[in-house]
Amino acid sequence: MEITGKVVRLGTLTEGTSARGPWRKQELIIETEEQYPRTVCLICWTNQIDEIQKFVPGQSIKAQIEISSREFNGKWYTDVRVWRFDPVGAQPATTTSAPQAQPAQPMTHQTPSQAAPSPEYYAPSEDSTDDLPF
């Protein structure tokens, strides 16, 4: 799966030792860039911790994630684990000189007052006997 969002902050760093050796885990809090943004806590393990230290609040990132749940003492716990980060907005290097496509215009959220149709929309036509606009 994939999730895209803006970095809000780095969470707590946890370190420990298991039978396989030392490990580190750190949370990365992002806010999705949707009409109704959601805050998501991503769990980053040892190999990603150095990479997330470079992120700054407000930076857009794309993460390849795995969602997993487990039960413990009758309660369920869910983790959103990151296995790879990809830069947002970076284009791959090309060796050809093909013309570049124009980037799409970003979608903007409009309030109802901004998106209101023109007054002509509401004006009844001359042959209309109905006072409803539709």
Residue 64's domain spans which residues? 2-87
111 in a structural domain: no
pLDDT (tens, 9 = 90+) of the chain, 134 residues, equals: 999 999 999 998 999 999 999 999 999 999 999 999 999 999 999 888 989 999 999 999 999 999 999 999 999 999 999 999 887 865 444 444 444 444 444 444 444 444 444 444 444 445 555 555 54
Find out whether 26 and 11 touch, Cβ atoms under 8 Å: yes
52 in a structural domain: yes
Domain of residue 83, CATH code: 2.40.50.140
99 in a structural domain: no
Residue 120: per-residue pLDDT: 45
User: What DSSP character marks residue 124?
Assistant: P
Number of domains composing the chain:
1
Q: Which residue shows structure tokens 């030792």?
A: 17
51 in a structural domain: yes
Burial code (b: 16+ CB inside 10 Å, e: under 16) for 51-68 equals ebeebeeeeebbbebeee
96 in a structural domain: no
Residue 36: per-residue pLDDT: 94
